[in-house]
Chain A
Amino acid sequence: MDRNSIIQDLKPIFRDVLDLEDLNLVAESNATNVDGWDSLAHVNLVVAIEKHYRIKFALGELQGLKKVGEMADLIAKKLAKA
C-alpha cells in the first residue's frame, strides 16, 4: 500500500478514535492541527492502528513521527515486511 491509500485507510480510524466525524485527514495532519489529539488519544490511535493492520510498533519508531504522512510511511514499511 502507498502513503495516500494508507491515509485514506486511517481516516475512519482517526474519525472514530477522536470522535470527529468530519475530520479531513491529510499527510500534514498532526497533534497540533487536529482537535483532541492529546497524549491519551495518541495511545488510542496507535492501538487502533496496530489492531487494524495487525502490526506492532516499537516506542522508538513512534517517537520520531511528526505527522500522519510519516505514520503512513512507517505502516507501509511494516506491511511490506509482513
Chain B
Amino acid sequence: MNEYRWADLTLGLRARFEADITDASMAAFAEMSGDVNPLHTDDAFAVARGFPGRVAFGMLASSFYSTLVGIHLPGKYALLHGIDIEMKSPAFVGDRLTVSGEIVHLTDAYQRLEIKASIVNANGKTISKAKIRAGVHEP
C-alpha cells in the first residue's frame, strides 16, 4: 500500500494495477449487494441477450476505483469524497482489467486531489472512465 502524504503529491502522478473479475468476486458481490439480476448470474440468460456470458456487475468493476484511491493513489491516508463514473463497455467473468489513474488537480487549502481514471480490458477496450475526488487525511 502506498502512503503518499500531501506534500508528496504532484500533478501528473500516476498509478496503475491489474485486477480480475472472477466467479468468486461475482458471487460475493451478488451476495453483498442483493443484485441477483440474471444478466450477472445466469450465463444462458446473458448469452440469449447477445453477450458472450454473464456481464460483470458495473459496480464490481468500478469498485477497483476504490482500490486505486485507497491502496495506490494516494493510498493509506486517502478518504474518498466522490466518483463520477461513465460506463463505456461491459466487462465479463474472467476479464483481467487494468486500472489506471493520474492526478489532474490539487487543492492545497483542503488537501483535496482529483484523479482522472480509467479501466480497460486485456484487449485495450475501455470499460469505464471516472473522475475521482479524494482527500488526504494524514496523521
Contacts and interface: CB of A to CB of B under 8 A. Distances in A.
B81 interface: yes
A76 interface: no
Contacts, number: 32
A43 B107 contact: yes
B108 interface: yes
A78 to B, nearest CB: 13
A59 B110 CA distance: 7
Nearest to B111: A59
Name, among A47, A50, A59, the residue most crowded by chain B CB atoms within 10 Å (CB to CB).
A47
Contacts of A44: 82, 133
A33 to B, nearest CB: 22
Given A44-B82, A47-B107, A61-B109, 20 more contacts: A40-B81, A43-B81, A43-B110, A43-B135, A44-B133, A46-B110, A47-B105, A47-B112, A47-B114, A47-B133, A50-B107, A51-B105, A56-B107, A56-B108, A56-B109, A57-B107, A57-B108, A59-B108, A59-B109, A59-B110
Interface of A: 40, 43-44, 46-47, 50-51, 56-59, 61-62
26 contacts: A40-B81, A43-B110, A43-B112, A43-B135, A44-B82, A46-B107, A46-B109, A46-B110, A47-B105, A47-B107, A47-B110, A47-B112, A47-B114, A50-B107, A51-B105, A56-B107, A56-B108, A56-B109, A57-B107, A57-B108, A57-B109, A58-B108, A58-B109, A59-B110, A61-B109, A62-B109
Interface of B: 81-82, 105, 107-110, 112, 114, 133, 135
